[in-house]
Amino acid sequence: MKCDICEKDAVVHLTQVVNGEMKEVHLCEEHAKAQGIDIHSPISITDILMGLGEDSQNIQSELSPACPRCGMAREEFRKTGRLGCSDCYKTFMAELAMAIKAMHHNTQHVGKIPAREGVQTRIKSQVARLQKDLDSAIVREDYEKAAQIRDQIAEARAQSDEEGGAV
């Protein structure tokens, strides 16, 4: 890849999506510095993009320094943004939660659902919503409404069992 400004080899590659439009920027070391990106900084560009930095360093001092299974160091995860094994998810959970929230502004998936899993997911969501409604009806002492909601929950769970899942 060449620098977008001067045609030297690019060392910084950024992708940004704004209003559904993807924009890629490729910069050489000189132009990256001119844009305020210090590629030799102790904080990686992954940290900057994922919203880590000082908070992550505070967490780092409180938690174990490496994954007990694969030995991946916390610092290596922070630099690369990649995990080494399935146990890394547990070891680096604090950083992952911060990164996911910074990138997606939420920690719970709210987007599209694959078709093969959509039915079960919709039923689980419906049961969770109905359960909140049931709790609210009980607090209000509206027992007739609570009985109706209870029956709807039972119906949704029966539908889930028919589809091969458990709610």
Q: Determine the pLDDT at residue 40.
A: 66
Contact 18, 25 (CB under 8 A): no
Q: What is the pLDDT of residues 48-84, one digit of tens each?
A: 555 544 444 444 444 457 889 999 988 888 777 788 8
CA distances from 89 to 40, 76, 93, 108 (A): 27, 14, 6, 16
What pLDDT is recorded for position 66? Answer: 87
pTM, two decimal places: 0.37
Domain ranges of the chain: 1-40, 42-108, 115-162
Given a cut of 60, whether residue 126 has pLDDT beyond it is yes
Please say whether the beta carbons of 89 and 77 come within 8 A: no
How is residue 39 written in tokens? 């590629």
